[in-house]
């Protein structure tokens, strides 16, 4: 199991569009991946799960993966979150 904490950078947080980018990235990996906010943990490959967390900008989340490619999965997802989902380039 590999775990990293990251701060959501973009102002609107993980609403539908960035959550979709997050899920697409998560689905590139074989590992089981979860997002944790406070005490709640959801499947990082589930749009409804991610949206149910209500993650807004400035929220700290934990990304957890377990499987053969767990470290590369977590690192790629942390990088995506830290980039602000490239929303600044619109």
Task: Tell whether the model's pLDDT for residue 71 goes beyond 50.
Answer: yes
Instruction: For 14-59, write each residue's pLDDT tens digit.
Output: 999 999 999 999 999 999 999 999 999 999 999 999 999 999 999 9
> Which contiguous run of DSSP H or E holds residue 37?
strand 32-37
Report residue 88 as tokens.
């600044």
Pair of tokens at residue 48: 């409804």
Residues linked to residue 4 through DSSP beta bridges, in sequence order = 63
The residues carrying an active-site annotation are 15
Q: Where do the domains of the chain lie?
A: 2-85
* Per-residue confidence band for 89, with pLDDT thresholds at 50, 70 and 90: very low
Give the DSSP H/E element, type plus range, for residue 73. helix 70-82
Domain 2-85 CATH assignment equals 3.30.1340.10: yes
């Amino acid at each position: 199991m590999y775990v990293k904490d990251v701060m959501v950078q973009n102002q609107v947080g993980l609403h539908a569009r960035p959550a979709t980018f997050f899920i697409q990235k998560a689905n590139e990996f074989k590992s089981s991946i979860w997002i944790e906010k406070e005490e709640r943990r959801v499947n990082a490959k589930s749009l409804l799960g991610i949206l149910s967390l209500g993650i807004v900008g400035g929220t700290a989340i934990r990304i957890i993966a377990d499987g053969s490619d767990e470290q590369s999965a977590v690192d790629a997802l942390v990088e995506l979150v830290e980039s602000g989902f490239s929303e600044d380039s619109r």
